[in-house]
Amino acid sequence: MTEQSEPGGLAARERAVLALERRNWPSPGAKERAVREELGISPTRYHQLLNALLDDERALAHDPVTVNRLRRIREERRTRRRM
């Protein structure tokens, strides 16, 4: 995958990570397979990239619905761990 980016925007891989997150998955295994096959990276690296994107304002501008949904989920998990 090329790393072409929009002017002042996200690289192609970053947009692809967000696109993968928008999809519905029948099982975690299906998503992991797609990460490996479509992005050519490990699920661990995928989650590292995804977490970094959630803190990136460019990602929020590109896909506010997905980023805000994932931010809420992340914050709920952090809150549960603190209890």
Query: How many angstroms separate the CA atoms of 18 and 67, rounded?
Result: 8
Say what the pLDDT of residue 83 is.
84
Rg (CA), the chain: 13
| pLDDT per residue as tens digits for the range 26-83 | 988 999 999 999 999 999 999 999 999 999 999 999 999 999 999 999 999 999 998 8
Query: How many angstroms separate the CA atoms of 77 and 42, rounded?
Result: 22
Alpha helices in 1-83 (DSSP H): 12-22, 28-34, 43-54, 57-62, 64-82
Q: What is the pTM of this model?
A: 0.84
Closest CA to 50 of 1, 17, 3, 20: 17
